Amino acid sequence: MNRSSTSNARGLNDATLPPPTRRGPARVLGISSVILGFRRYAEQLEHWTADRDDIDAVHIRIAMPFAVRAASATWPLPGGWDLHSYRYLLLSDLVIRRWFHGAIDCNRFDVIHWMTQGNAKSMLRLGAHRHLRHAVNIDGTSDLDWKEFGYHRAARRPFRRVERRIFEQCSLIACRNAWAARSVHEDFGIPQQRVMVARSGMPLTMPSKWDAPRETPSDGALPRIAFVGNTWARKGGDRLLRVHQERFADRAELHYFGKGHEEDRSARNVVWHGFIPHDEVVRLLPTMDLAVFPTNEDQLPRAAIECAALGIPLVATRLAAIPEICVDGRTGILIPPGDDAAMAAAIDTMLADPVLRERFGRAARELVESEFDASKTFPALL
């Protein structure tokens, strides 16, 4: 059950906390980031603990003060030398450790689930509570930042020193992709029995577009390409727009879902949906013919999993954990990072072959049902 869920940890009290002595269900504290894709994961975690009779859960959704967010903002320095994640690590610790000196009594919990390691430095201050078990939920590691994303190795060392201590003190490192799990074991030397892949599961409440009733396209209707993302340049939205206008403006509509960009109303056959409610995005996505994720830096975009769950074939960057959902030649086509010619060739292949799009789309849905079904992934974690 969920005893309480709040973004104000200092407001917790006897009525909203488990008893100081365990008499039944495991007493679990979830401390979760709710930025970007972490919000959906945190919401799903709360959903799946709600009906568990063997869990007495308190969920804290981290809402950092403006001063912390401002002081840890990114600066325009290459290679990770702005140290923004390390600054956030230190500043979040100043906030979270106060919770454990105030409203949160560690004797009221058996397990703390931290999401992510960037919020977990305060764990290192709780060593005196030897009954406590810690689990940290991650989607990548500092080593992967310099191996995959061009960060300077030395720039990640301060964060890595704390990260290693967090991993070493955890009973479980839950990784939302196999890419991160390999790094925890191989780069940090954490035994495999303490590492699990706990994927960002999707609630499969909607059928695949191939199994749902479909409207017959009107004569002359163009295929639709979807781009879903809120950080325009990082996710390659500008590059996709350029490729579309140069190569496909007369062959396909390009649909943009998200924010973080200026709408170019002069662009031909481009539909700017903007930042609309998630339910509306999910309603519109099945009308798309393919989804393109030409990202420059991402672990595994949740939007790509959502598109695959709806049976939409993918074109995506061969980067980080993305090949775990865009399986080249099975659920879509992978392209090298930053390669616009390869992106154009992949889109051209997809547009020219409706049979291929359906084959990839059906396989994408099957992969999500097998590996990313929330009804399997979250119970396995819990």
Helical ranges in the chain per DSSP H = 38-50, 66-71, 84-101, 142-148, 153-169, 178-186, 237-243, 278-284, 302-309, 340-352, 354-371, 374-381
Distance CA 139, CA 325 (A): 14
Q: Are 335 and 234 in contact (CB under 8 A)?
A: no
- Domain spans of the chain? 2-198, 224-371
Write down the residue that tokens 């839950």 correspond to: 174
Convert the pLDDT of each residue in 181-207 to its tens digit.
999 999 999 999 999 999 988 889 888
The type of residue at 10 is: R
CATH fold of 2-198 reads Rossmann fold (3.40.50)
Fold of 224-371: Rossmann fold (3.40.50)
The predicted structure's pLDDT at residue 333: 99
Decide: 80 and 145 in contact? Cβ < 8 Å.
yes
Contacts of 171 (CB under 8 A, 6+ apart): 133, 134, 135, 194
Say what percent of the chain tops pLDDT 70. Answer: 98
Residue 35 confidence (pLDDT) above 90:
no
Is the fold of 2-198 the same as that of 224-371? Answer: yes
pLDDT digits (tens, 9 = 90+) for 91-141: 999 999 999 998 899 999 999 999 999 999 999 999 888 899 999 999 999
SS3 assignment, position 199: coil
Q: Answer positive or negative: Cα dihedral of 252, 255, 260, 265.
A: positive
DSSP assignment string, 288-356 = -SEEEE--SS-S--HHHHHHHHTT--EEEE--TTGGGTS-BTTTEEEE-TT-HHHHHHHHHHHHH-HHH
Q: Is the pLDDT of residue 262 over 80?
A: no
* Maximum average pLDDT range among 35-39, 75-79, 296-300, 324-328: 324-328
User: How far, in Å, CA of 166 to CA of 120, rounded?
Assistant: 7
CA distance linking residue 312 with residue 68, whole number of Å: 39
